[in-house]
Chain A
């Protein structure tokens, strides 16, 4: 049942992009947490988490995404969830988190724009 979580990272002009593939659940969410711990974000940068390959996300996975949000806010950086698949969008909607995360249809749109709070998807309310 369980597919391993694969995380690859690339650095762009606007900030790091984490490409997350697999299942983000109780057993594997720590891998993403560890990857986030290794990031050093500068103020004004934008961390993009690219989620097109995300197959599953449970409440622990949601917690890690919220931790990433906390981490970027502490660094006065931005967080964008790019290409979130429908199942994740449904859960984010249920939890009201579509009001909290900045969502973009794809990573290119997220990094291509110098203005990280541009259009596309829902914008953060806080």
Chain B
């Protein structure tokens, strides 16, 4: 480990002349080299008696420790050169082991300098024995391990840094995990909220439209409701209910606007009309009551609300008799009758005004008789205002609906609704509004009672 510094070993001499000169040079180098090599070696040397008393020490070590030779040789023991900790280790481990084994290599100790500093060193010692194998002295080499210690400390520091980085990464990972868990919890919460909201919307939607239609004696009824956007409450409405033993009321309408405000108006309208019909089943009277209620409720508000409605009273004729229908309209598209003979005709209600606009309603009325095989169709303007071309000017319109109904007639209520359902599907994106359809008809071949169908 300790390499002789500055004095290369003599090489094999060359020719005689050069060899002689070389020999002289080497000799001059070697003459003081033994002494110089010992004293100026790049490591510390010392020899001690078996009790540790220092017998010989080189200049390198004295220089490292800042000590004078005279103060050391014969006066100090090796252990005296060590720090307290080093001394303790020397007495308990180093010296006993050395005595036992005869040599020790690369033991890390700390020496104490004259200035009070510490010098980390690596110490190797060998016991020299006499001819009788008796221990004579101890030869010791001392390597300055300050750099190595610094290197090791650097390694330790790096390891601590790495450890700390690992700890921080672990903490960051834990935090990320917690954040992920929180996000997951928030997502589940949002999902639960969404479901609750969807449930609430479904309940409200059912309050706007009847779950099922009642059975109409001797008649058939069918409905269809198309929702333009599934997360919006509908703005269209319909209902069918008995007002006394002989008469049935029905209505279908459309509130202006969309969303929750429209839905609250739908609800108010539906229950107002139901109550009004029981009080006075005259169609114009029911709509007049509704107009008064809406105008009183919203007429002076910042945010007025309106709706179009067609309201009707139906009197089944009994066996063989004609079924009489009287309707009233407030700004609603005209009802349509599909006749058993293949014709289709509108029931015009001109001059009826949007409900809720004026304090006194402008209601238009019409009457019709349904014979067996005739079907009355009520619809909202989602059907007639559906776009059939690239611009908003190309609308389906009443003329096209009339042609469609003429081609379809005669048709029973469910057949009519099914055909219109297909028509609406065909509009695709052109159908951007809610659409309600209600068909009431007298079966062509009279049966006692047909079950009501509905598909909201």
B381 within 8 A of A: yes
Query: Given the complex of chains A and B, what is the CA–CA distance between A20 and B265 in angstroms?
Result: 28
* A96-B330 contact in complex given A26-B258, A60-B257, A66-B304, C-beta closer than 8 Å: yes
Scoring B residues 343 to 364 as 1 if CB is less than 8 Å from chain A, else 0, what string do you get?
Answer: 0000000011110011000101
B70 to chain A, nearest CB (A): 104
**By DSSP majority rule, is chain B's interface helix, strand, loop, or mixed?**
loop
Smallest beta-carbon distance B293→chain A, Å:
17
Q: Fill in one digit per residue for A63-104: 1 if any B CB lies within 8 Å of its CB, else 0.
A: 100110010000000000000000100000011110110000
- CB contacts (< 8 Å) of B258 on chain A: these are 26, 60
B257 neighbours in A (Cβ, 8 Å):
26, 59-60, 63
Within 8 A of A (CB), among B101-119: none
Q: Is A62 an interface residue when CB atoms closer than 8 A count as contact?
A: yes
Question: In the complex, are the beta carbons of B354 and A95 less than 8 A apart?
Answer: yes
CB distance from B92 to the nearest CB of A (A): 90
Say yes or no for B244: interface residue by CB 8 A criterion.
no
Contact A87–B306 (Cβ < 8 Å): no
Residues of A within 8 A of B353 (CB): 95-97, 99-100
Total number of B residues with any Cβ neighbor in A under 8 Å: 29
How many contacts A-B (CB < 8 Å)?
63
Q: Taking A26-B258, A60-B256 as contacts, is the C-beta distance between A97 and B331 under 8 angstroms? A: yes
A55 to B305, CA, bound (A): 23
CB of B363, distance to nearest CB on chain A (Å):
9
Once bound together, how far apart are the Cα atoms of A125 and B353, in whole Å? 12
Does B140 make an interface contact (CB < 8 A)?
A: no
Task: Determine the chain A residues whose CB is within 8 A of the CB of B133 once the complex forms.
Answer: none
A95 touches B358 (CB 8 A): no
List A contacts of B235 (CB < 8 A): 59
B304 touches A95 (CB 8 A): no
| Chain B neighbourhood of A55, CB < 8 A | 392
Give the distance to chain A from B197, nearest Cβ to Cβ, in Å. Answer: 21
B120 at the interface (CB under 8 A from A): no
A13 touches B (CB below 8 Å) = no
Residue of A nearest to B362 (CB): A96
Partner of B357, one of A23, A59, A87, A100: A100
Contact between chains at A63 and B381 (CB < 8 Å) = no
Interface residue B308 (Cβ < 8 Å from any Cβ of A): yes
Q: Select A63's contact among B306, B330, B364, B433, beta carbons within 8 Å.
A: B306
Partner of A99, one of B254, B299, B362, B392: B362
Decide yes or no whether B18 CB sits under 8 A from chain A: no
- Please, which residue of chain A has its CB at the minimum distance from the CB of B329? A96
A86 → chain B closest CB, angstroms = 9
B333 in contact (CB, < 8 A): yes
Are B362's CB and A95's CB within 8 A?
Answer: no
Task: Please report which residues of chain B, range 243-286, place their CB below 8 angstroms from some CB of chain A when the two chains form the complex.
Answer: 254-258
Are the CB atoms of A56 and B392 closer together than 8 Å?
yes
Complex alpha-carbon distance, A90 and B366, angstroms:
21
User: Are the CB atoms of A94 and B333 closer together than 8 Å?
Assistant: yes
Alpha-carbon distance A96/B307, docked complex (angstroms)? 12
Q: Which 3 A-B pairs have the closest CB atoms?
A: A96-B353, A59-B256, A95-B331
Residue contacts A-B, CB under 8 angstroms, 21 given: A23-B392, A26-B258, A59-B235, A59-B254, A59-B256, A59-B306, A62-B306, A63-B304, A66-B306, A70-B299, A70-B300, A70-B304, A94-B333, A94-B381, A95-B353, A96-B351, A96-B352, A96-B364, A97-B353, A99-B351, A99-B362
17 further contact pairs, Cβ within 8 A, besides A55-B392, A66-B306, A99-B353 = A58-B433, A60-B258, A62-B306, A62-B354, A63-B257, A66-B357, A67-B302, A87-B392, A94-B381, A95-B353, A95-B354, A96-B354, A97-B331, A97-B357, A99-B351, A100-B353, A125-B362
